[in-house]
Amino acid sequence: MIDKFTTDKTAELVIEGQKYSLPIIEGSEGEKAIDIRNLRQDTGYITLDKGYMNTGSCTSGITYLDGAKGILSYRGYSIEDLAENCSFVEVAYLLLHGHLPTDDEYQHFSYLLGRFALIHEDMIHFFDHFPPNAAPMAILSSMVNSLSNFYPEMTENPLEDIDIMATRLISKVRTIAAFTYKKSMGSPLVYPRHDLSYCANFLNMMFDSPVKPYAINDDVVRALNKILILHADHEQNCSTSTVRLVGSARVNLYASISAGISALWGPLHGGANQAVVEMLEDIYESDGDYQNYINRAKDPSDPFRLVGFGHRVYKSHDPRSRIIKAACDEVLDTLKVSDPLLDIAKELEEVTLNDEFFIERNLYPNVDFYSGIIYRAIGIPSNMFTVMFALGRLPGWIAQWKEMWDDPDWRIGRPRQIYIGPKRRPLTPKEERKKRESDT
């Protein structure tokens, strides 16, 4: 893939008077990169880029993101078109195969999702041995990792049938997530049904009860489809990079995804929508005085920051936020939910969009700002929000893992470092040590 996009242009690097010529690579959407793969070999130098802000770890044909213009696309399709016209299952197929499914392909993929929806009955006993207040993400990560023991055939030739591999994981994670919630509530498990769509099945497993059957609401199903689509992939973020890095050691898919789930668990990554709701709750409990929180966010001496505003990559509007805001309004209207947190959220958005402080710093509402409100309206508790994020991101993780595994230019991930510790020093015999060696 590198050779295909290598240009005839080069960058000139001068180190201690010596000139070096570095190839320039241009992506299909015009992104440019300086190829430094031979830098250390040719010069003895490496680059230092904390947080990998300027480092491309791979080439990929899955997701394109332009943070300056607020553009996001999967396999060339805009996120707006996909969210409006496709189901989550179609988008999952697109990410895995590079094209939207035909009707036959869609039917087969959906059939496999139904076929693999059940988890092994022995796995259900695992839930009984977690502490009562165990974090759902900890349970999810552990359960996904254990799948490799129940389905070891997928570790032998994982790319032999990508649909079986992908649908087995996508479907079972949905069931594991719903069972995790039911166990936390002390409620009887609800098994998946063959006659329901992917999202409808999940909602039914979450909320159906022997004493109160769950009524499937099409508007809620559509909203959930959109949320999952919006989260399906997002280039080389923390969790996706983790999946690729772990997988580069030729670790099985389940272990790689389990590692990605753990990375997503972080409050600075997948936990942001839960943090948004907690912030809105704090504002509500403070008599709804959102202006005080805005003032605190603008105060350079106050470490407080508004959660759900701004993005590491997007320097304009997050294209997903407009879609999810419309879905939020639709769900609340359909369910006749009057949520004071939504009123506070709208006030915050209105003020920040017209305040020069936030405009100058590109602190626009992002996708996490409204997703938690939707989940609250549906009935999903805040400690399950990040699990929902993982459910949506799963097809992207699998597609990224597959792309990495199938890359002829694959290399095991092994970042370098600049050592800043003590210089080489002699070891002092124990009986002669009078103070800490680090103090010398």
Domains within the chain, CATH numbers bracketed: 2-56 (2.20.28.60), 68-412 (1.10.580.10)
Whether the pLDDT of residue 210 is over 90: the answer is yes
pLDDT at 437: 55
Supply the DSSP symbol for 428.
Answer: P
Instruction: Examine the residue annotation and report whether 125 is marked as an active-site residue of this protein.
Output: no
What is the predicted pLDDT for the residue at 438?
Answer: 53
Is 311 noted as a catalytic residue in this protein? yes
Q: Which helix (H) or strand (E) holds 225?
A: helix 218-230
**Angle at CA 207, nearest 5°, toward 141 and 333?**
110
Which one of 208, 233, 318, 368 is the catalytic residue?
A: 368
353 and 377 in contact (C-beta within 8 Å)? no
The tens digit of pLDDT for each residue in 136-160 reads 999 999 999 999 899 876 666 677 7
Which of residues 55 and 437 earns the better pLDDT score?
55
Of 1-15, 59-73, 348-362, highest mean pLDDT: 59-73
Q: Which residue in the block uniquely carries the two structure tokens 């049938």?
A: 161
Question: Which residue shows structure tokens 């230092």?
Answer: 48
State the DSSP code for 128.
Answer: G
pLDDT of 2 strictly over 50:
no
CA 128 to chain centre: 28
E strand map for 93-172: none
Task: Report the b/e string of 125-137 with b at 16+ CB within 10 A.
Answer: ebbeebeeeebbb
Cα distances from 297 to residues 92, 286, 341, 352, in angstroms, run 38, 16, 19, 11
Catalytic residue among 208, 233, 311, 318: 311
Residue closest to 211 by CA, chosen among 196, 190, 225, 197: 190
Task: Name the strand (E) or helix (H) holding 3.
Answer: helix 2-5
Q: Which amino acid, residue 73? A: S
Higher pLDDT, 310 or 120: 120
- Give, in order, the Cα–Cα distances in Å from 364 to each of 196, 206, 261, 349, 425: 37, 33, 27, 8, 52
